[in-house]
Amino acid sequence: MLLNGAEILINCLLEQGVDTIFGYPGGAVLNIYDALYKYQDKITHVLTCHEQGAAHAADGYARSSGKVGVCLATSGPGATNLVTGIATAYMDSIPLVAITGNVTMPLLGKDSFQEVDISGITMPITKHNYMVKDINKLPDIIREAFYIAKEGRPGPVLIDIPKDITGQTAIYEHQEPVEPKRKNKYITREALEKVAKLINQSERPFIFAGGGVIASSSENELKQLVNKINAPITTSLMGIGAYDSNDNLYTGMIGMHGTKASNLLATKCDLLIAIGTRFSDRVLSDREHIENAKIVHIDVDPAEINKNIKVDSYIIGDIKLVLSKLIPLINEKNNLEWLDTMSFLKKQKAIVDRQEEALTPQFLFQKLNEITNGNLIMTTDVGQHQMWAALYYNFKYPRTYISSGGLGTMGYGLGAAIGSQFANKDKLVVDISGDGSFGMNCNELATIVSNKLPIVIIVMNNNSLGMVRQWQNFFYEERYSHTTLNRETNFVKLAEAYGLKGYRVEYKEELDGVLREAIGCKRPVLIDYIINEDKKVFPMVAPGEPISKVICEKDIMELASANVSE
């Protein structure tokens, strides 16, 4: 079949099962948009308000569905506006294919209008990228890009296509997509037996699960392992949802804002079993902090083994395959004394129990737990609200906590909510944001309304850049340099201007009714949730300190009292 390059592109996307693209048109991609017009009955294009919103939407689509997300932008500024979204996906190992247009071949390298070397710009933040210079190679490049995005450790791939390539014609022949095989080259009997021996010998095992468990769809195997050795389990931020947070053996998130139980168990265990995680500096970056424990690392990416933490044993390979082969070699355990220690530590409170008339973060997530019972997809921006969501909402299922972990991208949540809703049309999607993050990409409210997406947006409004302010409070002697916003933005009126239903919640007795009405009305809603600017995320570990040095609210109160006494 003789087709032009743009039509070949669309047909190859259809081969890969793509049903939704997020993008923004421009001169260099006019041929592609003309093809999208012709194929609109087969593939949905979602017009966002900004290319960064398109990248975040494709990312949210991928995280919440397990499929490859696709975004499309024109050359020059359109392409560079994708960069933050591509980097976000790269840091969190999210399968994404970003397609950009470029100037025609004769104009490349001449500083032409809206020309930029997007391949060079994105080289450090993609698994691979392409500049298509031969239309005959276009189909194979597209197929290979999807394969690379999904294979092994997932990640983003960029395809840059000059405009004249999309206008040229070539023969297209349909091919069925090739699904990547699960990596098993290094899953040897010797490696399995060595790890099994360490687990069988341990008396205080502690399991640490990361986003790799979710990426490999290994939640069932993880639960089998937990139950067989009767071990406490923690997750990284990216691993939230890999294990039911309501289960008694779950101890909450680990790391800088991890629970006291998780952080202390990591220092008291005799074996830390790390699965699908990269030992981020926000979790654990110094082996000396848990010097009494041996460490086992299971991961698909060889580059992560011994990169940040020196381990005692490891298995490289697809986690689902590794665990299916490892579990039969492991003895059942009861670990009763160790579980008593876990239970004691789980009772330690990070915040002081007191009756508060004002709205609190905990109260919001308590109500969300009551009303939704874990049956939602929650996207977040980045900051205090992100940590409060991770600490206080009870996630039961994988792919329901959608958040930027590695890059920490403010403005991520709204685009991710759009992508998540398109991928999960029958599910409730709730976006948790802060007033600082919300200001980054609030223009995507128009996208939500235009597409009639029943997303519930909750802005935790403390009139500040809360997390930065918290650090200024702890480490900069309360010099709040440019973190108090004072913007006087009326979020309810802003929501109404865009066509959403807007609510402001200032008192506790208002919240239950507002949440139930917002969820039940099946239309886009924004809730302005007013909290005090000095509310802090607890627990907290100071940068560079051992994770055992957990700062709780009581510690800060006692320190402040001692300073007053002096």
Sign of CA dihedral 441, 444, 448, 449: positive
Active site residue 163: yes
User: Distance between CA atoms of 73 and 61, rounded to whole angstroms?
Assistant: 17
Pairing of strands 401-402, 377-380: parallel
Of 26, 21, 103, residue with least CA distance to 55: 21
Q: Note whether 108 and 115 are within 8 A (CB).
A: yes
Q: Is 467 a catalytic residue?
A: yes
Do residues 166 and 29 touch, judged by C-beta distance below 8 A? yes
Q: 10 Å Cβ neighbour count for 387? A: 27
Active-site option among 131, 238, 387, 467: 467
Measured on CA atoms in the order 416, 440, 124, 311, is the torsion positive or negative? negative
Measured distance CA(430)–CA(10) in Å, rounded: 31
Q: Would you say 153 and 301 are in contact if contact means Cβ atoms under 8 Å apart?
A: yes
Helix (H, G, I), strand (E, B) or coil at 527: strand
E strands within 217-270?
233-235, 250-253
Candidate list 163, 183, 325, 536, residue with the active-site label: 163
- 117 close to 107: Cβ distance less than 8 angstroms: no
- Answer positive or negative: Cα dihedral of 468, 472, 476, 480: positive
Catalytic residue among 7, 51, 219, 444: 51
Alpha helices in 484-552 (DSSP H): 491-498, 508-520
Find the catalytic residue in 114, 224, 348, 362.
114
The one catalytic residue in 1, 113, 201, 203 is 113
Say how far apart CA 135 and CA 161 lie, in whole Å. Answer: 9
Told to judge if 51 belongs to the known catalytic residues of this protein, a careful annotator would answer yes
Cα angle: 334, vertex 335, 337; to 5 degrees: 130
Going by C-beta distance under 8 Å and a sequence separation of 6 or more, which residues neighbour residue 191?
Answer: 313, 314, 315, 316
User: Counting beta carbons within 10 angstroms of the beta carbon of residue 56, is it exposed (0 to 12), middle (13 to 18) or buried (19 or more)?
Assistant: buried
Integer Cα distance of 13 and 90 in angstroms:
21
* Beta-carbon-side half-sphere exposure of residue 518 (alpha carbons within 13 Å): 29
Catalytic residues: 51, 113-114, 163, 467
